[in-house]
């Protein structure tokens, strides 16, 4: 009964939101966008989320002949920026660059949230995904996951991640559960400091986004042993997948997608989605994504909705299994 009530409430809410913008829709859609569009990155400048937000703002803006500006509203693992967009007018002028935290782990991880990921947003377009990799301190003297397991049987390992409940953290916990290794989690405020401490030996290994690990691999202080992806990635063609290393099902990526407030008119969503599709096909965008070890992924709004709903369930099941929660 609760599920039926929730589903009915969600449908009624969306219908009400759509009716609320009817007066706006007819005259304004033909001119959309006729003023600057704002893309909100819910993280600080300099990270992957910010980079991809600015990349899409530039090239989607060109496709729509519009001025798209970026506003960084960071804090609370993306929830501050996400909440701001959820409360914005559903007119297509304020969008969120959401990700595997805002629309993947947060809905289950946090007991209290300022938004509802399923109810308060309209999915617009997928942008890219960055596979999680296992990067180990070179000083351990291991060259494969199998050798790491043997080492871990003799030594208690520590692993770093971008923070509690992040994709890297959950990858590490899933690996820990699959192997039975006794590993200590050390959370950081981002992938870069986690990799830095893995290089320095403060932690034995780190589960981080591909780009952060690749940037430091040339130093010789870390080794990338595996990628948590269904297939080998273009950025690391010689690095085996977790499945190839003997752990099928360990597939985790930091993914990024655009979301608008619930009730945003379908023609506006479609225009934004098509601009995203065109931008992802541009050679300049592909080169920029490759530089970040990111894989551009086009999805329709309907496909994106199915995807992120499945991610909420997948991450939710894992978070409940690991008994993780944040007040």
- Comparing CA positions, the residue from 255, 317, 319, 280 lying closest to residue 123 is 255
Q: Which residue has the tokens 């559960």?
A: 177
Residue range 125-171, pLDDT digits in tens: 999 999 999 999 999 999 999 999 999 999 999 999 988 888 999 99
Q: What is the pTM of this model?
A: 0.82
* CA 180 – CA 132 distance, rounded (Å): 20
- Residue 48: the pLDDT is 85
Domains identified in the chain and CATH numbers: 37-129+254-322 (3.40.190.150), 131-245 (3.40.190.10)
Average pLDDT value for the chain: 90
| pLDDT over threshold 80, residue 197 | yes
Cα–Cα distance for residue pair 174/273, rounded to 1 Å: 34
Asked whether the predicted pLDDT for residue 6 surpasses 80, the reply is no
């Amino acid at each position: 009964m609760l599920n039926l009530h929730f589903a009915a409430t969600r449908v009624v809410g969306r219908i009400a939101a759509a009716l609320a913008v009817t007066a706006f829709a007819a005259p304004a859609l033909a001119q959309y966008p006729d003023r600057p569009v704002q893309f909100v990155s819910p993280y600080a400048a300099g990270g992957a989320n910010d980079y991809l937000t600015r990349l899409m703002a530039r090239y989607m803006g060109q496709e729509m002949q519009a001025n798209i500006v970026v506003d960084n509203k960071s804090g609370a693992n993306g929830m501050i920026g996400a909440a701001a967009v959820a409360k914005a007018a559903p007119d297509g002028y304020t969008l969120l660059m959401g990700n595997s935290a805002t629309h993947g782990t947060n809905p289950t991880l946090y007991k209290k949230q300022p938004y509802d990921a399923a109810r308060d947003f309209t999915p617009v377009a997928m942008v890219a995904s960055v596979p999680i990799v296992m990067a180990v301190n070179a000083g351990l003297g291991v060259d494969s996951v199998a050798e790491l397991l043997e080492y871990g049987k003799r030594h208690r390992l520590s692993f770093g991640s971008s923070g509690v409940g992040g994709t890297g953290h959950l990858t590490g916990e899933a690996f820990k559960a699959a192997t039975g290794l006794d590993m200590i989690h050390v959370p950081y405020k981002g992938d870069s400091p986690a990799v830095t401490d893995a290089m320095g030996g403060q932690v034995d290994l780190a589960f981080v986004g591909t780009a952060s690990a690749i940037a430091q691999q040339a130093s010789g202080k870390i080794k990338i042993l595996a990628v948590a992806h269904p297939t080998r990635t273009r950025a690391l063609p010689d690095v085996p997948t977790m499945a190839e290393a003997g752990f099928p099902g360990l597939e985790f990526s930091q993914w990024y997608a655009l979301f608008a407030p619930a009730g945003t008119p379908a023609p506006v969503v479609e225009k934004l989605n098509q601009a995203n599709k065109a931008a992802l096909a541009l050679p300049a965008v592909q080169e920029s994504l490759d530089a970040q070890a990111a894989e551009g992924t086009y999805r329709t709004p309907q496909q994106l909705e199915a995807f992120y709903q499945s991610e909420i369930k997948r991450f939710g099941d894992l978070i409940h299994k690991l008994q993780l929660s944040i007040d």
